[in-house]
Chain A
Amino acid sequence: MYAQMVKSTGKGLVARKDMLPEDRAFQDRIDAGEKIEPKDYMPDGYRRNLIRQIGQHAHSEIVGQLPEGNWITRAPTLERKANLLAKVQDEAGHGLYLYCAAETLGVSRDEMTEMLLDGRMKYSSIFNYPTLTWADMGAVGWLVDGAAIMNQVPLQRTSYGPYARAMVRICKEESFHQRQGFHIMMAMVNGTADQKRMAQDALNRFWYPALMMFGPSDKDSVHSAQSMAWRIKMNTNDELRQKFVDETAPQVEYLGLTIPDDDLQWNEDTGHYDFTEPDWAEFFEVISGNGPCNVDRLNARKKAWDDGAWVREAMVVHAEKKAARKQAAE
């Protein structure tokens, strides 16, 4: 999802009989639905996995501002511009909530940023695709935020308290994102023939990347079992992907557009849509740095970090000077 392929740092799922007594007690708390709080005992693997997962989620929110930020100055109306600006501002806020949640686990904000910039931490593959037309703002809000919500709603019940609380805030704010995207798509499909073509083109380009957001197929998802036992992952990748297709297919039909998948059809027996899996070779290429925009995205983050360094330093120095002056006056 926003946290795809979070590499498990433990040794896979540990059987109950092989657990240390404190780890068994910890697992019992999770099984009883208790929330784990920052100062509580937690196994090292739990802490490390969460740092990676929440950090990756936070980076995705921040990097996710870039493809949309591209269109703020090019929005077709003042109203659309205000909507998009509010959405992008929300993403910054969501990144902050998540960084704060990760920091409660003992990693600093700067460390996480450095790990993103030197490639030790990742962000969602979806943000490595370009946003070529205004219709892409519709497709991104509707499909990308839609897929994100599908993953984040169950995470409101995750076992780590600060992460769960961040998710509650994020989910509350995020439903407007998906609706504003769908609203853009509705305007496009009801516009000129060219505008409708743009809407279809955006759907064509974002459909499979959106399906990839849920991460690899369950059979290739080697890190899931332990994360699910710890309740830091609530559903399997394939479950969520299916749910997304089931909810989105009727919306595509409502818009009068076509999903770029000839094999997509309703299956009476399963009560779900059958659909074609994304090209996993492409997914692994993009996640390992070779997507269309990986270099641009990281360069933009690096430039913002480097160019902002003197501001961050100057603000600290100024605050110290102000405090010293105040103390002298007392």
Chain B
Amino acid sequence: MSAKEWPLWEVFIRGQHGMSHRHVGSLHAVDAEHAIKNARDVYTRRNEGVSIWVVEAAHIAASAPSEKGPMYDPARDKVYRHPTFYDIPDDAGKM
């Protein structure tokens, strides 16, 4: 049992309706080609996708949970970034 474990890959699939690729899960594979083959077997058994992206999990950089506050709180009080902030009279017509 001395062998190296196959590295972990994250899998992204684009469905048929013009949406962007979406993270669906992960799997182990020796290289990118192998990861795509495995992703096809594991994550598209029911026509879930028409395109697969894989990336080695070790290459993904992620924001830290401890920085949640400074990262996302500033967006909270900026309601003027949403269309509903602006009251437009019905008389102005469809907008």
Contacts and interface: CB of A to CB of B under 8 A. Distances in A.
A90 interface: yes
Interface in B28-61: 28, 30-31, 34, 41-42, 45-46
Contact of B65 (A40, A97, A309, A315): A40
Given A39-B64, A312-B6, A316-B4, A100 B31 contact: no
Given A89-B45, A322-B31, A169 B25 contact: yes
B46 A173 contact: yes
A110 B3 CA distance: 10
A319 B25 contact: no
A100 B1 contact: no
B46 A315 contact: no
Contact of B27 (A100, A169, A173, A315): A100
Interface string A257-294: 00000000000000000000000000000000000000
Contacts of A96: 27, 42
B27 A316 contact: no
Contacts, number: 50
Contacts of A309: 1, 3
Contacts of B25: 97, 100, 165-166, 169
Contacts of B3: 309, 312-313, 316
Nearest to A313: B3
Contacts of A100: 8, 25-27
A93 B39 CA distance: 10
Given A114-B1, A313-B3, A315-B6, A39 B46 contact: no
Interface string B1-34: 1011110100000000000000001111011001
Contacts of A166: 25
B42 A316 contact: no
Interface in A69-128: 86, 89-90, 93, 96-97, 100, 103, 108-110, 114
Contact of B6 (A39, A89, A169, A316): A316
Contacts of B64: 39
A323 interface: yes
A40 to B, nearest CB: 5
A108 B8 CA distance: 10
B52 to A, nearest CB: 15
B62 interface: yes
A109 B41 CA distance: 19
B61 to A, nearest CB: 12
A114 B3 CA distance: 13
Contacts of A315: 6, 30, 34
B24 to A, nearest CB: 8
Interface in A1-50: 37, 39-41
A219 interface: no
A40 B5 CA distance: 25
A165 B25 CA distance: 9
Contacts of A90: 45
A100 B38 CA distance: 14
B30 A318 contact: yes
A166 to B, nearest CB: 8
Interface of A: 37, 39-41, 86, 89-90, 93, 96-97, 100, 103, 108-110, 114, 165-166, 169, 173, 309, 312-313, 315-316, 318-319, 322-323
Given A103-B26, A165-B25, 7 more contacts: A90-B45, A100-B25, A100-B27, A109-B28, A166-B25, A318-B30, A319-B30
13 contacts: A39-B64, A89-B45, A93-B41, A93-B45, A97-B25, A100-B26, A100-B27, A108-B5, A110-B1, A166-B25, A169-B25, A315-B34, A322-B31
Interface of B: 1, 3-6, 8, 25-28, 30-31, 34, 41-42, 45-46, 62, 64-65
